[in-house]
Amino acid sequence: MKKRLYLWQFSGFLFTGITGILLHFLYEWTSQNRIVALFSAVNESIWEHMKLLFFPMLIFAIIESRYIGNKYGNFWCAKLVGIVLGVSIIPILYYTYTGIFGITVDWFNIAIFFIAAATSYIVETNILKNQKTFFFSCGVAKVILFLIIVLFVIFTFTPPEIALFQDPATKLYGISI
């Protein structure tokens, strides 16, 4: 059973990496389609890059839940922890290194995405493997994941004017409604 879990989680990492890269460009490829904007990056802000990890991980979790989710009573709790950890790592590492060095480096930004994805799947695997219990139910985890989706949608179209949401190239925020 553990071998199957490892295979699923590694597949999730690959799916997240490939899908995240594709989502980085999909909005432009679709001539700025507003439906696509809901789940892909609309600019180069850190917030939009967090979507590139969130949505592939969530989609893969839904797929994975159909095949192995029922074997783990803590499945959605583990997925919530992994996803929130991953989307948190992205701004933490980005603002730490740019704060220290005063520059942004494209290859390192890409590396941050893969570090966040790998860390997320490793933590999820350990939680699932050890059957760790949580103080919240998996139903609550699903509600929180849904609320995060709502935040991504709202802040794509009406983001607060703070650095997390600002495109460093254009200095603009989100897209207009």
Question: What local confidence, expressed as pLDDT, does residue 61 receive?
Answer: 97
Instruction: Return the HEC string of 93-156.
Output: HHHHHHHHHCCCCHHHHHHHHHHHHHHHHHHHHHHHHCCCCCCCCHHHHHHHHHHHHHHHHHHH
Whether 117 and 82 have beta carbons less than 8 Å apart is answered as no
Measured distance CA(118)–CA(98) in Å, rounded: 21
Q: How many CB atoms lie within 10 A of CB 20?
A: 24
Lowest mean pLDDT segment, chosen from 46-50, 92-96, 102-106: 102-106
Structure tokens at 9: 């989680």
What's the pLDDT band for 15 if we cut at 50, 70, 90?
A: very high
What does the pLDDT look like over 51-61, one tens digit per residue?
999 999 999 99
Question: What is the mean pLDDT of the segment spanning 98-106?
Answer: 90
Q: What's the predicted TM-score (pTM) here?
A: 0.92
Measured distance CA(118)–CA(92) in Å, rounded: 15
Domain map of the chain by residue range? Answer: 2-165
What's the pLDDT band for 176 if we cut at 50, 70, 90?
A: low
